[in-house]
Amino acid sequence: MTVLLVAAGAVVAVSMLRRRRVSGHRLARLRHTAAPRRARDPRLLLAAASALAVAGVIGQWWGVPIGGVVGIAVDRFLRRRQPAAVRAARLRATADLPLCADLLAAALRAGAPVDRAAGAVADALDGPLGQRLACTARSLRLGADPPEAWAHLSDVDGAQRLVAAAIRSSASGGALAGALVRLADDLRADRAIAAESAARRAGVLIVLPLGLCFLPAFVLAGLVPVVVAVLGDVL
C-alpha cells in the first residue's frame, strides 16, 4: 500500500512539473510573439546622407564637422517624429480605453474571472488596444504575475491607472470593477476638458490672423491721415 501511495505521488508530481514546464514554454513564446519587432529604420541612413551631402557641397575640410552636426540634427529630428501608422494606432488605443474599462467592469460584475473578462473584452474591442488586452489575458491564463501581464497596456496613454488598479486589486483583493468604472468616468472627463481647451485655443489662433489683417488697415486708415494732417499744419 505504501509503495502504491509513493508511486501515485510521484506520478502526480511529474504531471504537475510537466504542466509547469508547458505553461512556462507557452508564456515565454507569448512574450516573444507579443514583443513588437523593430522595423528597419532608415533614420541613420538619412542622417548619414545629409551629413555627406553638406560636407560635399562645402568641399572643404571644415565641412566635415558641419556635416556631422547636420547629421546629428537630422537624426534627432527624425527620432522625435512618429510614423503615421503608429500615431493612428496610439490614438485609437487611447480612444478605446474608457470603453475598455466599462466593458471590463461589466464582465467582472457578471462574475467572470479577470483573465476571461480581459479575453472577452479584447475580442469585442479588437484593434490595437484589443490586441494588447488579448496578450494580457493569455499571460494571466498561463500563470504570469499581474504586473508582468498588465505591462502589455503600459504604453497606452492613460492606461497606467488601469494597470495600477488591476495590480492593486490582485494584491489586496479589492473590487476592481468599481475602480474601472471610476477610471472610465475620469478618462471621459479628461477628454472633455482636453476638447474644451483645444476649442478655446483654436478660437485664440483664429483671432490672431484677423488681428494681423486689421492692424495695418487701422494704422493706414486711422493714424496715417492724422499724422499727415498734423505734419501739414506744423510745416
* pLDDT exceeds cutoff 50 at 14: no
Average pLDDT score over residue span 23-39: 49
- Specify if 36 maps to a domain: no
Q: Name the DSSP letter for residue 152.
A: G
The answer to whether position 219 is within a domain reads: no
- Please indicate, yes or no, if residue 104 is contained in any of the structural domains: yes
Q: Using pLDDT thresholds of 50, 70 and 90, give the confidence band for residue 13.
A: very low
The reply to whether 154 falls in a domain is: yes
- Report the percentage of the chain scoring pLDDT > 70: 78
Please give the pLDDT value at position 2. 45
pLDDT score of 10: 41
CATH number of the domain where residue 95 is located: 1.20.81
On whether residue 215 sits in a domain, the answer given is: no
- Mean pLDDT to the nearest integer, 178-192: 86
- Residue 6 — pLDDT band, cuts 50, 70, 90? very low
Average of per-residue pLDDT values in the chain: 75
Print the domain residue range for 98: 87-183
How many C-beta atoms surround the C-beta of residue 78 within 10 A? 15
Which pLDDT does position 208 carry in this prediction? Answer: 73
Distance, CA of 102 to chain centre: 19
Cell numbers given for 72 = 546629428
For the beta carbon of residue 147, count every other beta carbon within 10 angstroms: 14
Grid cell in block for residue 106: 461589466
Residue 68 has a pLDDT of 82
Q: Quick check: is 70 in a domain?
A: no
Report the alpha-carbon distance of residue 122 to residue 71 in Å, rounded.
43
Total domain count for the chain? Answer: 1
- Decide if 57 is inside a domain: no
pLDDT at 4 over 50: no
Query: 212 vs 53, which has greater pLDDT?
Result: 53
**Residues 50-97: tens digit of each pLDDT:** 778 877 778 777 777 887 888 788 777 777 766 677 777 788 888 888
State pTM to two decimals. 0.57
